[in-house]
Structure 1
Amino acid sequence: MKKLLYSLFPGNQPDQTSVSLLFTCFFVGIAGAFTMPTMSLFISEEVGARPYLIGVFFMVMTISGVIVSQIIGWWSDQGIDRKRLILICNMMGAIGFIIFAFNRNYWVLLVTSAVFISATSASIPQVFALAREILDRNTRPSETFSSLLRAQISLGWVIGPPIAFMIATGVGFTQLFLLAASMFIILCAVTYLTLPQMDPTPKHTHFDPSDSIWRDKNIILLALSFVFMYCSNNMYIISMPLYITHDMQLDSSVAGIMMGTAALIEIPIMLLSGRYALKFGKKKMITAAILAGSLFYVGVILNSSFVGFVLLQFLNGIFIGVTAALGISYFQDLKPKKMGQITTLYSNAIKTGGVLGGVLAGMIADIFSFEMVFWASLVLSLMSFLTILKVRDV
């Protein structure tokens, strides 16, 4: 077991840098898992905002996160030290959640989320970009360690939400947000003391239009594929609890069991993905995972039993585990000279898919039914499959 675990680390041996990167991913993941699932409850009950204002809040936070993280990604590719950018992002998170802990004015919180909380979304892409840069400079493969980093975020989301709801309902949101702020303060210390400062890579003296990520059709197609696949996934996540209780007449706890099962399955799938990617290639494995996701939606449409829904999570776990673990490396391989921007684009493609999924799920369920939402998820998953076939292999 020890040998297998060590094989996931660069050089088959944990070192200070790799452990620090893992710690950073886990703490950012668990800080997000503490706050995001409870945010709508906080805005509704503590702030007293109406439902449409809650929607506006999440839309502003997501869109600002996409814009801010893409700008920070561009800065990192211009030679600004990624360690410094990660440190700034963590400081912004600490400030933002301290404001959330003591303020209950909707508009102040909206501005805080757009300015401070949105910056935290840039931290993870920069951590992955830094890890890839370290591995590339030491001529070591990145697939297995990137998968291990991604698994830390999933682990945070397995542990975080139950604890968050316990704190929010049992103690209060002030304590919950102060705990999240303290995590970002700890991350600041870890980043400053342990992460390496990389010498900037030499920059070209003239601008080459072909270097732009926005002019590369393979990157655009890959980004579109990830938008489609995570749009379909978010539509499923939003609609499944209501489908289970209203249409299937099952207990609401079934949805929680399903999502918890999927999260547990994702972690070993992520860890294995990096190893098998070296043998089969990233594109083939991601393509196969998308097909597994398509079969999952077919199963959800056809199934009506509790056991069937739980067993289907193996397909869902393969879909999320493989695409989340290998997606970053696939994006990075297509444009290694733009590591900061391309890693951020991967993250933003997933966020964009999530926003679109939320809008489409509500519209389709309102006009048609929850079952029709899963048919739409199937169509989007197949669109993702067809799109990624046109992306070049690396």
Structure 2
Amino acid sequence: MPQEDDFNDIGMSEYPKINLNPLWIAVFTDILGFSILLPILPAILTNFNTNALVIGFLLSINAIFTVIFAPILGKLSDKYGRRPLLLISQAGTCVGFIILAFSTNIWIIFISRIIDGVFGGNFPIAKAIIGDAVPPKKRSIQMTNIGVCHTLASLAGPAIGGLLSIWGLFAPGIFAASLSGLTMIMTIFYIPETWTKEKRLKLKKERIQQNVHVKFSIRKNNEAFYLLIQFGFHTLSFFLYISSISLFAAVVFGFNAQQIGIYLMISGIFRVVIRFTIFKPILKKLGEINTLKVGLLSFVITFILLGFSRDPVSFMIILILVSFAASLTRGPFNSLISQSVSPKEQGIVNGYASSLDSFGQILGPLLGGLILYIFHPSMIGFTAGIFSLIAFVMIFNAGIYITIIKSRDRKAKET
């Protein structure tokens, strides 16, 4: 888990000194719920006598309920405090995993994923706690730690799911439920309330009016709107790939859950290595826009190659190339989207980007399940490649990116 930074040494009394480690475990567990299922999807399909379309819906149902209920949990945390809502969210995640562990048919698995989705507000509440407890100058570091948790969960989830799958759904479900229980205990003992009653009473009417103005103005921001559409195509292609790759491997290569878990784990290891070794030199050498070009082009080529993959060796190479492409796209995308708006619009534009992530998690599995149900698995690669190609071509709209660069340079001169 990421270590707590010395962000409380600034002497700002309005920011309570807290241990953020339980938050990292909570976010890790939240993401683990998706990634731990990936290697055991083929077993669920076979053992519960279902089809790829149902599996796609099973993956997307969690995101559907998260999109609906996460904002509700967030608003409730504004009204009643972060700590009680975080505990409720963690308890819901724990219950969802327990139900998964004892699932005897596909509909019980659906119920477990729905419950996890309804109470899956760990991520937005964690971001709210960081906003409450971390001074602005240190906040970006802690937000980056959330990304580290995402990477670690994406690495550990497939490995855990694959290794524990010899005991069916029971072992992965109990493992994740135990981890959720641990986060609850740590929250009770180590995380104080960061959104106190006094702070709640300080919510000003002017802030609400300002947010209305911000939402209106960002819709007229052509650069931000364009980048968000581009990001949406990229997100859809990635979640189409990640939600379908396990069934692809099972159908094309006859892989079992352990083999799928190992392959996805190796891919995750390469992503971590690339992210912390060659990513920064590439970014420094090429700049954000050219790095994004390389990443998106790599996605296009890799997804098309996936459509032609017919042996395990080429499949492993493709997984590594996907790790390379993913490492080069996410950071530059987030940075460019952030640079396309003014400081007061940061929260709104990041909220839109998060919503696109959620919709990608909904539409990607549904589309992947439909493709696997009707067409040959190779169409997964070709379809994801088309969406990535659209995102790649969009980067050559010079006017949009020149405007962003000029805006960035102007802000740099002002600081």
TM-score relative to the length of structure 2: 0.69
Q: Deviations over 1:211-250 (max 9, x none)?
A: 4489645565554333211112233445667888999x99
Distance 1:298 1:53 in 2: 29
1:263 corresponds in structure 2 to 268
1:353 corresponds in structure 2 to 360
1:379 aligns with 2:389: yes
1:317 corresponds in structure 2 to 323
Q: Deviations over 1:304-358 (max 9, x none)?
A: 7987776666664354235545767877886877998776654432231233334
Distance 1:152 1:132 in 2: 18
Distance 1:181 1:326 in 2: 35
CA contact (8 A) 2:22 2:183 kept: no
Change (3 A) 1:179 1:242: closer
2:205 corresponds in structure 1 to 205
Q: How many residues align structurally?
A: 377
Q: Deviations over 1:230-287 (max 9, x none)?
A: 112233445667888999x99999987764444223325555799899x97xxx6377
CA contact (8 A) 2:91 2:184 kept: yes
CA contact (8 A) 2:18 2:133 kept: no
CA contact (8 A) 1:234 1:357 kept: yes
Identical aligned residues as a percent: 19
2:66 corresponds in structure 1 to 65
Distance 1:10 1:328 in 2: 25
1:292 aligns with 2:288: no
Amino acid aligned to 1:25: V
Aligned pairs (5 A) from 1:26-175? 26-35=28-37, 37-38=39-40, 41-42=43-44, 44-45=46-47, 47-76=48-77, 78-114=78-114, 116-135=115-134, 138-169=135-166, 171-175=167-171
Q: Which runs of no fewer than 5 residues in structure 1 stay unpaired?
A: none
SS in 1 for 2:193: coil
2:191 corresponds in structure 1 to 195
1:21 aligns with 2:23: yes
Amino acid aligned to 2:70: S
- 202-211 or 368-377, larger mean C-alpha shift: 368-377
Q: Highest Rg: 1 or 2?
A: 2
Deviation at 1:98, TM superposition (A): 2.2
Distance 1:25 1:132 in 2: 15
Distance 2:248 2:41 in 1: 23
Change (3 A) 1:35 1:187: farther
Distance 2:128 2:332 in 1: 14
Distance 2:301 2:128 in 1: 36
Change (3 A) 1:213 1:327: farther
Amino acid aligned to 1:379: L
Distance 2:292 2:320 in 1: 11
Deviation at 1:194, TM superposition (A): 1.6
Distance 1:81 1:325 in 2: 31
SS in 2 for 1:140: helix
CA contact (8 A) 1:273 1:325 kept: no
Amino acid aligned to 2:364: G
- 49-58 or 333-342, larger mean C-alpha shift: 333-342
Distance 2:105 2:240 in 1: 30
CA contact (8 A) 1:69 1:119 kept: yes
Distance 1:310 1:128 in 2: 35
Amino acid aligned to 2:272: I
Deviation at 1:359, TM superposition (A): 4.4
Distance 2:344 2:84 in 1: 19
Amino acid aligned to 2:388: L
SS in 1 for 2:110: helix
Change (3 A) 1:53 1:20: closer
CA contact (8 A) 1:228 1:381 kept: yes
Q: Deviations over 1:78-121 (max 9, x none)?
A: 4542333222111111122222333435445434432x210353
Distance 2:178 2:96 in 1: 11
Amino acid aligned to 1:95: V
Distance 1:177 1:240 in 2: 21
Change (3 A) 1:258 1:162: closer
Distance 2:255 2:40 in 1: 21
CA contact (8 A) 2:26 2:183 kept: yes
- 54-63 or 209-218, larger mean C-alpha shift: 209-218
Amino acid aligned to 2:147: R
CA contact (8 A) 2:56 2:243 kept: no
Q: Deviations over 1:1-37 (max 9, x none)?
A: xxxx98x934499x96243333333343445433454
CA contact (8 A) 2:90 2:122 kept: yes
CA contact (8 A) 2:295 2:328 kept: no
CA contact (8 A) 1:143 1:274 kept: no
